[in-house]
Amino acid sequence: MTSNETKRPASGASQPVSSVRERDDAQLQRMGKKPVLKRNFGILSIIGFSCTILGTWEGLLGTFTSPLTNGGSGGAIYAYIFGWIGTFANFVVLAELASMAPTAGGQYHWAAMLAPAKYMKFISFVTGWFAVLGWQTAFAASAFLTGSMIQGAAILGNDAYNALPWQATLICWCSLTLALAINLVGGKLLPRAETFLLVVHIAGFFAILIPLVVMAKHNTKEQVFLSFQNGGGFKTQGLSWFVGMTTCAFAFGGADGAVHMAEEIENASRVLPQALMISVGLNGCLGFGILTAMLFCASPDLGGKLGKVTGYPYMGIFLEATNSVSGSLAMSAIVIVIYVLAMMGLLAASSRQLWSFSRDRGVPGWRWLSRVSTSRHLPVHAILVSVTISWLLAIIRIGSDVAMEDIVSMAISGIYLSYLVVTILLFIRRVRGDISLSNDRDDEIINVPGAKLVWGPFRCPGILGIIINGYAIIYITIIVFFSFWPSKMDPKIAEMNWSILAIGGAMFLAILYYVFRARHIYAGPVVEISL
C-alpha cells in the first residue's frame, strides 16, 4: 500500500485540531458538499465503530451452525479462511474508494464518479438502492437476532420459561429504542460508547475463550480439520460447502459501515482506510480464534437439547464446558451485551446512508429525510425512519422465523451487490489508467461525476492493486450468487430462501420510481457548492 503525496500539508499529531477539521471541510467542499455534520470521531472511536459493526466473532457464535450443516467442521474452518481473504480484498477496494471520496454516500457516490457518463444516473441510483435495502434489513436482522438471543438466555437461566414470538418482538423494540436514544443524544456520546465497546469486544473475546478452552473436553484435530458434512443433501460436497460458506460472509458483513460516518470523522481520507484495514485484521483473528475454539470444544450434537431449544448452540456448548448455569449465563451475557450495543453503530451507519442518498434526491420524501437538526447536527429524520422500518419488520417475527431468515439473506445480498458494482467500476478505471496520482489545484472539484479522478492518500499500486481488485470481484460474485440459495436441496415452501424475490421485488419498485419520478430529479451526487 502507498500513500500519495500532494501539495497539501500532511496530517500529523502536532497539527492543531482546527486545521485538521478545516482541511476535512475543504476536502468535502472539493467534492461539492456542504459540511453540516460535526466531526466527533477519531481513529480509536471509528476503529471501535468498524470492529463492532463487523462483530465477526460474535456473529459467528450466532450463526455458525450453517457452515457446520453444509460443510462440516473442516468445511467451516476453510470457508472462514476463504471469507477472510476475500473480505481483505474487498476492504482494500473500499479503503481506496473511501480515501478518494470520503462521503456518507459511499457506494452510490463512488458508482457515480466511476461510471460512464451515459449510464451514470441509473447505475448510481441502483447502487444506492442496493445499499439502502442492505443496510435497513441488516439493522432489522441484528435487532431480530438480539431479541431471540435474549430469549435464549432466559431459557438457559430458567428451563420452565416458554419463549413466545411476540415476546421476541417486544425485546427487539426495546433494543431498537435504546439504540435510538443514544443516537439522538449526539455529541461525543456515540464515539465514546464505540471506544468503550471496542474494549468490551476484545476483552469479551478472552473472557469467553479462556474458560471455554480450559474447562471443555476437546475434540481431536482430525475431527476439527478433516470432518466434512453435506447436511443439505446437495449433489456434491463442494456445492454444500459454498452454500454454508455464505454465513462467514454475514460474519464479515458491514464493511462499509464506517464509510457512512465519513463526514463525522477527523482526517477521514487517511483515518478511514486505517480503520478498515485494522478492523479486518483484528476481527479476522478474533473470529478465527473463536471458531476454532468452538469446534474443538463442541459436542457432536452441538450443545444438545439446550442448543436446539434456545436456537443458539453456543449457549449449550458453554453449559457443557463449564457445567454451570451461572457461568454459562455470564459468558452468554457478554455476547448479548455486545449485540445490543452494536445496534448503536448499525443505526448510525444505516441512517447516514439513507440521509446522504436523500440529500442527493434518490428516495421518496428526500426533502424531509435530508434535513439535519441545526442544534444537534444530526440527520434526525433519517434516524427515526431507520428505526421505524426495523420496528415494523420485527413484527414479521411473530408470524414466521423463515421470513426473518430471508431478511438476513436480503441484508447480505443487498450490501454485497452494492460492493460488486463499485468494485467492477474501479477495476475498469484502474486498468484503463483513468485515475491520477495527485491533483495540483486546490480550487478544483474532483471525484464527482464528470470531474477529474484522483487517488486518495491510500491506494494499492500497480499490478498488485489490479490482482486484489480482481479477486474481490470474484469473491463478491460468489457470495451474492450463493446468498440466494436455500440451505437444502428440494426444500419445502417453508424452507425456501425467498430473499431473491424480496430484493428483486424491492428493486423493481425502485426502478419504477426511477422511471416515473427519480430520473427527472436524480442526477447523481448533487454539487451543493462551487469553488
- What CATH class is the domain 37-438+449-520? mainly alpha
Q: How far is 268 from 312, CA to CA, in rounded Å?
A: 38
> Would you state the pLDDT for residue 21?
73
Q: Hey, what's the cell of 102?
A: 470520503
Question: Measuring CA to CA, which residue among 408, 487, 489, 301 is closest to residue 59?
Answer: 408
Mean pLDDT (the chain) is 88
> For residue 2, what is the enclosing H or E element?
strand 2-3
DSSP string, 128-144: HHHHHHHHHHHHHHHHH
The per-residue pLDDT for range 414-467, each reduced to its tens digit, is 999 999 999 999 999 999 999 998 776 666 788 888 888 999 999 999 999 999
Residue 430 CA to residue 415 CA, distance in Å, equals: 23
For the stretch 324-352, what's the b/e string if a residue is b when 16 or more beta carbons lie within 10 angstroms of its beta carbon? eeeebbebbebbbebbbbbbbbbbbbbbb
**What is the rounded CA–CA span in Å between residue 161 and residue 453?**
60
What is the average pLDDT across 145-149? 88
pLDDT, position 88? 95
Q: What is the pLDDT of residues 163-221, one digit of tens each?
A: 888 898 999 999 999 999 999 987 789 999 999 999 999 999 999 999 999 999 999 99
pLDDT at 359 over 50: yes
Instruction: Tell me the C-alpha distance between 394 and 179, whole Å.
Output: 15
Q: Where are the domains of the chain?
A: 37-438+449-520
Confidence of residue 324 (pLDDT cuts 50, 70, 90): very high
Asked whether 150 and 336 are in contact (CB, 8 A), the reply is yes
Q: Is the pLDDT of residue 14 over 70?
A: no
What is the per-residue pLDDT for 91? Answer: 94
Closest CA to 91 of 103, 99, 101: 99
Dihedral of alpha carbons 98, 249, 143, 45, sign: negative
Residue 403 has pLDDT above 80, yes or no: no
- Residue 454 has which C-alpha cell? 484522483
Return phi, psi of residue 41, to 5°: -95, 135
- Asked whether residue 522 carries a pLDDT value surpassing 80, the answer given is yes
The per-residue pLDDT for range 160-171, each reduced to its tens digit, is 888 888 898 999
Tell me the helices (H) and strands (E) count for the chain, helix number first: 22, 2
pLDDT in tens, 229-263: 888 889 899 999 998 888 777 778 787 899 999 99
- Judged against a pLDDT cut of 60, whether residue 264 lies above it is answered with yes
| Residue 459 Cα distances to 55, 264, 465, angstroms | 26, 22, 8
**Which letter does DSSP use for residue 516 in this model?**
I
Q: Look at residue 17 in the predicted model and tell me its pLDDT.
A: 53
Q: What is the pLDDT of residue 104?
A: 92
